Amino acid sequence: MNSSNRLARIWAHRATLDTLVRRDLRVRYSRSAIGYLWTLLDPLAMALVYAFVFGVIYGTSAGANSPKHVGRESTDGVPIVLFLVAGLLAWNWFNNVINESSRALYAERLLVRSTNLPRELWVARVVISKGIEHLLSLPVLIGFILYFWARGEVHLNWQLVFWLPALIIQFILLMGMGLVMAPVTALMDDFARITRIILRVLFYLTPIVYSIHFLDGKIPEKFSWVTTLFQFNPLTGIIDMYRAGFVSEHGPDWHAWVAALIVALVWLVFGSWVFRKLEPAILKEI
């Protein structure tokens, strides 16, 4: 079945996809006392911990030597808490999708095997449901932006509109990676464990707790290719888009933005091909 026919089948079953996404969200919060608030508390807690470690303990800026300064330190000209939240929210969506998509087919193997639904739906439901949780967590970022803007510590600009392409590019990227993760993990369980190790390393190779501009002047000239490598990490461009609307110390990293779009599209094409090739073997295995 060619790609256009697969897309047509997925679109024809969009109502089923909607049902699967709603089910995932209901199950996630059905036994929680505070429900949706966990979507806000988790990134907020992580941001405060990292702000304390990198702002107070490591002293991101002069004078940041006591807990009362948490959130007041500066990275790329903005308070470190705000800087961190923007990166952590994007990372959480990425990390959650990669981990959940590794179980997308095997966890639902009875339905995957017994129904005639497009199997890509099981990956799409993970990306969309985690994407909705990502959108529901954005009030944390918006709250910090408004707080520091009211205090005059950040200045907003029209580049806030780049949140939309950031969301679209990240969605494309996650669909492509999910279409690889789901079938490969269904056939080889060790792949999920390897991926978790890679994710831990990738977190620190992605400019989340530091700025990509932090590397300027710190990497010897003969290793300048390292900066280029960072720019080809699609999350570098995506996170830079989230920060562009309030980071004024440096302009947008257009190279990273273009690289993010190209890499995301490549992943989508590659993921679709891998899923199509492995689908017969998956149905036999599960």
pLDDT at residue 226 above 90? no
* Domain residue spans of the chain: 34-285
Angstrom distances, CA of residue 176 to CA of 23, 51, 125, 149, 216 = 23, 32, 13, 36, 31
pLDDT tens per residue across span 210-223:
887 776 666 666 66
Crossing angle (nearest 10°) for helices 3-12 and 120-150: 70
Question: Confidence band (pLDDT; 50, 70, 90) for 28?
Answer: confident
pLDDT at residue 92 above 90? yes
pLDDT tens per residue across span 33-88:
666 677 778 777 877 787 777 666 655 443 334 444 444 455 777 888 888 889 99
Q: What percent of the chain has pLDDT over 90?
A: 39
Q: Are 93 and 130 in contact (CB under 8 A)?
A: yes
**Which two structure tokens, joined as six digits, stand for 250?**
């440096």
What's the chain's Rg over C-alpha atoms?
A: 20
Question: Confidence band (pLDDT; 50, 70, 90) for 252?
Answer: confident
Q: Which residue has the higher pLDDT, 276 or 253?
A: 276
pLDDT at 70: 43
Q: Are 6 and 276 in contact (CB under 8 A)?
A: yes
User: Cα–Cα distance between 185 and 105 in angstroms, integer?
Assistant: 9
Q: Is this structure's pTM higher than 0.85? A: yes
Residue 61 DSSP label: S
**Which two structure tokens, joined as six digits, stand for 180?**
């690889």
pLDDT at 243: 92
pLDDT at 213: 74
The one-letter amino acid at 235? L
Q: What are the φ and ψ backbone dihedral angles of 107, each rounded to 5 degrees?
A: -65, -30
Pairing of strands 78-79, 74-75: antiparallel
Q: Are 126 and 100 in contact (CB under 8 A)?
A: yes
User: Cα–Cα distance between 263 and 173 in angstroms, integer?
Assistant: 8
pLDDT at 3: 67
* Burial track 160-176 (b if 16+ CB lie within 10 A, e otherwise): eebbeebbebbbbbbbb
Average pLDDT over residues 98-114: 84
Q: What is the pLDDT of the chain when averaged over all its residues?
A: 83
Contacts of 279 (CB under 8 A, 6+ apart): 119, 183
pLDDT at 267: 97
* 3-class secondary-structure state, position 180: helix
Closest CA to 163 of 178, 141, 133, 144: 141
- Residue 253 has a CB neighbour count (10 Å cut-off) of 23
Residue ranges of alpha helices (H) inside the chain are: 3-12, 14-29, 37-51, 80-101, 109-114, 120-150, 163-187, 190-204, 225-231, 234-244, 254-285
What sign does the dihedral 11-24-265-268 (CA atoms) show? negative
pLDDT at residue 286 above 80? no
pLDDT at 40: 76
Question: Confidence band (pLDDT; 50, 70, 90) for 186?
Answer: confident
The one-letter amino acid at 265? L
